[in-house]
Amino acid sequence: MRYMTAETAEAASSALAAEPGLARVLAGGTDLLVQLKAGMIRPDLVVDIKKIPGIREITAENGGWRIGAAVANAELKEHPGVKADWPGVVEGANLIGSTQVQGRCTMAGNLCNGSPAADAVPGLVAADASVTVVGPSGTRVVKVADIPAGPGRTTLAKGEIVTAIHLPAKAARSSDAYLRFIPRTEMDIAVAAAAVSLTLSEDGTITAARVALGAVAPKVVLADASTIIGTKLDDAALAALAKAAEAVCNPIDDKRGTIEFRTSTAGVLARRAAVIAYNRAKGVK
């Protein structure tokens, strides 16, 4: 196995593209190193991207935020601007692992690892975030929702890397929230998860909303948010949202949960996350 530290995104990309064997990007390594040690993968080349200029920085951009691909999730938690604008994104990213893991892990790594249960991803999808992808055939900007392709798979081509995540400008009277279900209280993997991002009119009516679900389908899925748009999140709207969430679930039956359990829990979480986001948007603590 060869290890290299890339100085530029282009250098990383061309090294990855040129490797005939298995090549892997190294960000925080909290997935990659675990997979390596467990013998699940045996890459021929590992390219560390943390030395690429700007890749560990958070910068304001078009009213929103550009988060470098190697920014550790713990840094997001300490960033007042990002936290104020996208509390749901930040809370999802910081449900990952423990304090130690959060000091290393990245949202981009969480996304590119391709787990259907990735905790940072539903929040980004609900936020309608995008990523910048640098590859052998140039640079493109893609929606986060378009990156996952299924368990352990992404739509990134050989040699393509994510260099930044873009969170759009936060609208007035908007907010977001993320909830996951785990049997324990921490250090666990989501059995079902929901992120809700919504915007209110002055009278508290929901004018826009996105609801993304994790761990209930091969990749993150959007639920029909029209169930709550135009409402003030009354009980009927919440019940309709839960139903809409259940309707898009396509989970597996496994050691972590049954199809039935994951489906009903996704509905419950969508409902609860919507209430939290709604209260945040209204400025209610």
Partner 1 sequence: MALDDQKRAFKYVGTTPNRPDGVDKVTGKAQYGADITAPGMLMGAVLRSPHPHARIVSIDTSAAEAMPGVRAVVTGKDFPAVEDQGFADIGETCMARDKVLYDGHPVAAIAATTPAIAKAAIRAIKVEYAPLPHVTDVDEAMLPDAPVVLEGRALEHVPAGMSQNVTNTCEFGHGDLEAGFTKADLILERSFKVGAAHQGYIEPNACMASYAADGRADLYCCTQGHFFVRAVCSALMGMEASQLRVTASEIGGGFGGKTTVFVEPVALMLSKKSGRPVKLVMTRDEVFKATGPTVHASVDCKIGMTKDGRITAGDMTLRYSGGAWPSGTIEMGAQAGFAAYDMPAVRTLGWTALTNRPKEISYRAPGAPQAVYAVESLIDEMCQQLGLDPVETRLKNAARKGTLSSYGVTFDDIGMVATLEAAKAHPHWSAPLGPNQGRGIAAGFWFNFGGNTCVSLNINADGTASVTEGNPDIGGSRASISLMAAEELGIPYDNIRTIVADTASLGYNDNTDGSRVTFAVGLATIKAARAAIKVMCDRAAAMWGIDAEAVEWIDGAAVPAGPNAGKFPPMSLAEIAAMSFQTGGPIAGHHEVNVDGAGVSFGVHICDVEVDPETGHTLVTRYTVAQDAGKAVHPTYVEGQMQGGAVQGIGWALNEEYIYGRDGRLQNAGFLDYRIPVASDLPKIDTVILEIPNPGHPYGVRGVGETPIVPPLAAVTNAVSRAIGKRMYQVPMSPPRIMTTIKGK
Ligand X SMILES: Cc1cc2nc3c(=O)[nH]c(=O)nc-3n(C[C@H](O)[C@H](O)[C@H](O)COP(=O)(O)OP(=O)(O)OC[C@H]3O[C@@H](n4cnc5c(N)ncnc54)[C@H](O)[C@@H]3O)c2cc1C
| 95 contributes a contact to ligand X by CB under 6 A | yes
Q: Does 187 bind partner 1 (CB under 8 A)?
A: yes
Contact range with partner 1 by CB under 8 A, out of 54-62, 151-159, 177-185, 208-216:
177-185
Q: Does 235 bind partner 1 (CB under 8 A)?
A: no
Q: How far apart are alpha carbons 47 and 2 in whole angstroms? A: 8
Choose which of 268, 279, 280, 282 interacts with partner 1 (CB under 8 A): 268
Q: Does 75 bind ligand X (CB under 6 A)?
A: no
**Closest distance to ligand X from the beta carbon of 242 (Å):** 23
**CA 105/CA 5 separation, integer angstroms:** 18
Distances 136 to 142, 157, 161, 169 between C-alpha atoms, Å: 16, 9, 10, 30
9 in Cβ contact with 52 (< 8 Å): yes
Which of 11, 224, 261, 279 binds partner 1 (CB under 8 A)? It is 261
Q: Could you tell me which of 134, 127, 199 has the C-alpha nearest to residue 167?
A: 127
Q: In the structure encoding, which two tokens stand for residue 220, read together? A: 């993150």
- Could you tell me the smallest distance in angstroms from the CB atom of residue 127 to ligand X? 16
Q: Are 131 and 147 in contact (CB under 8 A)?
A: yes
Nearer to partner 1, 20 or 183 (CB): 183
Contact of 277 with 200, CB cutoff 8 Å: no
Shortest distance in whole angstroms from residue 206 CB to ligand X: 28
Q: Are 196 and 277 in contact (CB under 8 A)?
A: yes
- Separation of alpha carbons 177 and 198, rounded Å: 9
Residue 257 lies near partner 1 (rule: CB under 8 A): yes
- Kindly determine how many residues on this chain lie close enough to bind ligand X according to the rule CB under 6 A: 29
Stretch that binds partner 1, among 69-77, 128-136, 182-190, 200-208 (CB under 8 A): 182-190
Among 6, 9, 29, 127, binds ligand X (CB under 6 A): 29
Q: How is 202-255 classified by DSSP, letter by letter? A: TTS-EEEEEEEEESSSSS-EEE-GGGTTTS---HHHHHHHHHHHHHH-----BT
Q: Identify what 254 binds: ligand X, partner 1, none; CB under 5 to 8 Å per kind.
A: partner 1
| Cα angle value 2/117/197 (rounded, 5°) | 120
Q: Which is nearer to partner 1, 250 or 264 (CB)?
A: 264
Q: Which residues of the chain form contacts with partner 1 (CB under 8 A)?
A: 38-39, 181, 183-189, 191, 254-258, 260-261, 264-265, 268
Q: Which residues of the chain form contacts with ligand X (CB under 6 A)?
A: 24-32, 34, 49, 69, 95-97, 101, 104-106, 108-110, 112-113, 118-119, 161-162, 189
